[in-house]
Structure 1
Amino acid sequence: MKRILFIIPYIPYPLNSGGNQAFFNMIDYIRNKIDVSILLTPHSSSERKHIEDLKKIWNNVHFYIFTEKAPQVSSPCYYWILKKIKDSATRKIRRLLLKSKEKDLAREKTTIFNSYFKPLSTQYMEYVIELCKDFDIVQVEFYELISLGYLLPPTVTSIFVHHEIRYIHNENELPLFKKTTPIDYLYYKIAKDFEQAALKNYNYIIALTDTDKEILQNFIGKNHQIYTSPAVVKLDTNKVKPFTKTTYRLTFVGSENHYPNLDAINWFVKEIIPFLREQKTKFKLQIIGSWKSKFIKELESQYPEIELVGFIEDLHSFLNGSILLVPIRIGSGMRMKILDGIIAHAPIITTTKGVEGLNFRNESECIISDTPQEFANSITHLLSNPDLQEKLATQANKQLFAQYDQNRMLERRLNLYNKIFEEKG
């Protein structure tokens, strides 16, 4: 049987992010049809436990676990002392940034300054080189590992799954800086050149949307083999509730460690809530996911209209009876949160960027608003109009099943792998 190795930088369990959902659902489908192996790198005891939980679910998947070994020196304590000094200095610099009166959240959180080439550890690279020799296909996922394309042996067919095009992400962040400098654009251009060169080292590239596929074709050349294979949200029809109207309840899905989510919430509370207050709109925004920083706690204390609810086990049931907000201004790829909202029969208000790449139209399957006042007006209007809520939710649900049927999407990915196997002979 042909063998495929998946390499990802994150532990794809539990299913508490869109990326985890996309990867888990795809592996869960193809593991019974192809010989699947996966390379994971845990960084904590909790991540190691998640891997053990995953092994019980995927009992026919081969797991390779990489653990970095501390360097061997004559006096090991020096290594750890230097590491503690470095970590302490990093924390102090970060605290100074947070205390700055001219706080520039976009600049502080931007990926622009860490998007250019940074080598992976020598131990990890050597491990990958040796491991990959035994596989027909090696698939790498997420930007953090994009440089592995330079290392993979020519005897294997390489695939890179681009969940989010980094230079587009960086391009969206630059206008959000309080002030941009020539050096900012220098880092942006260096990172863009690196991304372009790194992608060309892969035999195949998978984009999540046709929009991203077109961007990548223009970026690295139309002759490169680029395919669209959307991410899949699993639908448990036994748990899905019928449409339920709301007069006040709003929801947002996403964790703050992904900056586009933090930017979305910051934009909402700082620029959209003032218009809602002016209109005397009564609402509660429940934010789902991991939000624990001092910054977000301060926002919660300043804006009693928002509520941090943490991780929700049954997300679709929780979203039902709410309006899902997707005020995203940064990124590319596919917003899984929109698919989750549609499955839950929650009407959606989004930005153009939030719904980019998905075939959902303004005032037909969702409402698209790109300025703070438009977004606030859309919320006020939709909260007071249950018939429109039901229309949007119903039509979006029909479109989801017509365009993004989970079985067809998974079969589409499987067919791509089978095509590559056939080409290898």
Structure 2
Amino acid sequence: MRKKILFIIPYIPYPLDSGGNQAFFNMVEYLRHKMAVSVLLYPETGRRMQDVESLKKIWDNVDFFIYTPKTKTVRLPKIKHPFYYKWLQKIHASVTRKMNRQQIWTDETGEVVDLVRGKSTLFSSCFQPLDQGYVEYVSQVAHSGFDIIQVEFYELLSLGFLLPENVQTIFVHHELRYIRNEKEITLFREQTAGDRMLFHIAKDFERSALLKYKDVIVLTEVDRKIMEDFIGRKDHIYTSPAVVQVGDRLEQPFVPVQSGRLTFVGSEDHFPNLDAVAWFCHEVIPHLRKRHFSFTLQVIGKWRGECINRLQSEYPELKLVGYVEDLGSFLKGSVAVVPIRIGSGMRMKILDAVLSKVPFVTTAKGVEGIDFKDGEDCLIVDDPAGFAEAVIALSSNPQLQRQLVTHAEDSLRQVYNPGQMQERRLAVYEQILGDKVG
């Protein structure tokens, strides 16, 4: 009889327009043929429910538990003159857009807005109460006779406090939150005593919540070693990297970089991506301009906020591409830039670059957890001027491009095989259960 596993995640893992969605989808796509898989989801909008329905058609042997909150009746005010009201709404929208365009990206003192502080996860890293109905639903489903219950992403970390004791419980830590907070707080323009206090409170919460799970999975060996020290034990912590689909991508030909074409992969809703693009614009682009380097930075993914609009107005070299159906083909002929400064875990954008045979420039934080070396697999630079010089040097040197791409591909083949990664996760479940799976 197949072992029963329940996945609980805060996002709808479809469509496959982000690295996180791809990684979760690829793992479940493999496991659903080995185990009896169930997924608990909370689609908060009609659009997300449509995505769930699309996913159900693909995963025809997966059981879906869908939480639907009870709708509350809201009494709307009556409108005296509907046509006049609609006219006022149009005027209001137009005036709002004009007012936004007049805003300068500074605060009341004239200083540039502290983007990192404004977007930092520090202020949402302590215990955040979940929807009470959702909590009750999770508790009910969790007591339905599963062998393993696996929770993913920090937003749901606190569920460990309500999961049944007689089940093997796993938390998959995609990004160690206190490590991210630790880096973000150093990037604040001004660090207060309250910031430091909040950091330690959040860190203690993260540790205590993790200890409520019987096992923890992280994506890299770097994170595993950090986790051992963090929660004070070496057992029941496993490394299981994210999985991307390779297909025939490694067999595709290498395409030299087209003049001045740079690419960045990642959506705005993951703040390290916004920070990376903002840092590249504010710090690196001025150096590229001084060198009279003509370029376009194509940003791939969902971007629609005020921050990116302001960046575009100040840096016209920035072009928003949106979702790309065939990412590998689109990336070809570009230099991928990965100017990540914040976070932990595994950078799917780097795997995408290597699989697409695209040379890339990154920071040490961006390549952390993946065994790629500076000058052999990629170029690794942390300071803005050096990053700009690396981009210029790589863009104009086809021989270096090919050399880095070839070596990175060889390194990836040695340490990262998607099939082996999937089998590795299955082996983790077998070790946890003490029994054969699949």
- The answer to whether 1:403 aligns with 2:415 is yes
Distance 2:435 2:250 in 1: 42
Please, what TM-score do these two structures have when normalized by structure 1?
0.92
Indicate the SS of the match to 1:354. helix
Look up the match of 1:135.
146
| Contact 1:241-1:317 within 8 A present in 2 as well | no
Distance 1:24 1:12 in 2: 6
Post-superposition shift, 1:298? 2.1
The CA RMSD over aligned residues, in Å, is 2.0
- The answer to whether 1:51 aligns with 2:33 is no
Letter in 1 for 2:284: I
- The answer to whether 1:144 aligns with 2:155 is yes
Q: How does 1:254-293 map to 2 (within 5 A)?
A: 254-293=266-305
Distance 1:219 1:298 in 2: 39
Look up the match of 1:355.
367
Look up the match of 1:22.
23
Post-superposition shift, 1:421? 2.5
Letter in 2 for 1:303: Y
Look up the match of 1:87.
none
Pick closer, same or farther for the CA change 1:252–1:128 going to 2, 3 Å: same
Aligned match for 1:384, one of 388, 396, 419 = 396
| Contact 2:249-2:356 within 8 A present in 1 as well | no
Distance 1:98 1:126 in 2: 43
Aligned match for 2:136, one of 123, 126, 129 = 126
Distance 1:156 1:128 in 2: 14
Look up the match of 2:90.
none
| Contact 2:249-2:355 within 8 A present in 1 as well | no
Distance 2:307 2:40 in 1: 35
Pick closer, same or farther for the CA change 1:97–1:150 going to 2, 3 Å: farther
Letter in 1 for 2:36: D
1:84-138 per-position Cα deviation (integer Å, ceiling 9, x unaligned): xxxxxxx9xxx99977343111111011011001121221111111111121110
* Count of aligned positions: 408
Moved beyond 4 Å, runs of 4+: 95-99
Pick closer, same or farther for the CA change 1:239–1:342 going to 2, 3 Å: closer
Indicate the SS of the match to 1:188. helix
| Contact 1:55-1:61 within 8 A present in 2 as well | yes
1:121-166 per-position Cα deviation (integer Å, ceiling 9, x unaligned): 2211111111111211100000000000010011111000000000
Look up the match of 1:84.
none
Post-superposition shift, 1:10? 0.2
Aligned match for 1:236, one of 244, 247, 262 = 247
Pick closer, same or farther for the CA change 1:194–1:224 going to 2, 3 Å: farther
Letter in 1 for 2:364: T
Post-superposition shift, 1:240? 5.6
Indicate the SS of the match to 1:353. helix
| Contact 1:240-1:344 within 8 A present in 2 as well | no
Look up the match of 1:300.
312
Pick closer, same or farther for the CA change 1:153–1:47 going to 2, 3 Å: same
- The answer to whether 1:10 aligns with 2:11 is yes
Q: How does 1:210-225 map to 2 (within 5 A)?
A: 210-225=221-236
Post-superposition shift, 1:234? 0.4
Distance 1:376 1:135 in 2: 52
Distance 1:239 1:396 in 2: 11
Look up the match of 2:172.
161
Post-superposition shift, 1:236? 2.0
Aligned match for 2:333, one of 308, 315, 321 = 321
Aligned match for 1:113, one of 123, 133, 157 = 123
Distance 1:144 1:112 in 2: 13
1:153-192 per-position Cα deviation (integer Å, ceiling 9, x unaligned): 1111100000000001111111211111000111111101
Aligned match for 1:200, one of 211, 218, 235 = 211
Distance 2:240 2:315 in 1: 40
- The answer to whether 1:346 aligns with 2:347 is no
Distance 2:349 2:234 in 1: 32
**Once the two structures are aligned, what percentage of the paired residues are identical?**
52
| Contact 2:122-2:198 within 8 A present in 1 as well | yes
Post-superposition shift, 1:384? 1.2
Pick closer, same or farther for the CA change 1:199–1:423 going to 2, 3 Å: farther
1:72-91 per-position Cα deviation (integer Å, ceiling 9, x unaligned): xxxx547x99xxxxxxxxx9
* Structure 1 range deviating more: 290-299 or 55-64: 290-299
Letter in 2 for 1:377: E
Post-superposition shift, 1:239? 8.7
Distance 2:136 2:306 in 1: 39
Indicate the SS of the match to 1:60. coil
Aligned match for 1:368, one of 380, 384, 398 = 380
Distance 1:424 1:25 in 2: 21
* Higher Rg: 2
1:264-310 per-position Cα deviation (integer Å, ceiling 9, x unaligned): 01100111011111111121110001111122122112212111111
Post-superposition shift, 1:208? 0.1
Indicate the SS of the match to 1:227. strand
Indicate the SS of the match to 1:363. coil
Distance 2:221 2:417 in 1: 16
Distance 1:98 1:137 in 2: 48
| Contact 1:272-1:375 within 8 A present in 2 as well | yes
Pick closer, same or farther for the CA change 1:350–1:335 going to 2, 3 Å: same
| Contact 2:284-2:384 within 8 A present in 1 as well | yes
| Contact 2:265-2:301 within 8 A present in 1 as well | yes
Aligned match for 2:349, one of 326, 337, 342 = 337
Look up the match of 2:199.
188
Distance 1:423 1:181 in 2: 51
1:251-274 per-position Cα deviation (integer Å, ceiling 9, x unaligned): 000011111001101100111011
Post-superposition shift, 1:420? 2.2
- The answer to whether 1:170 aligns with 2:188 is no
- The answer to whether 1:36 aligns with 2:48 is no
Where do 5+ consecutive residues of structure 1 fail to align? 82-90
Indicate the SS of the match to 2:275. helix
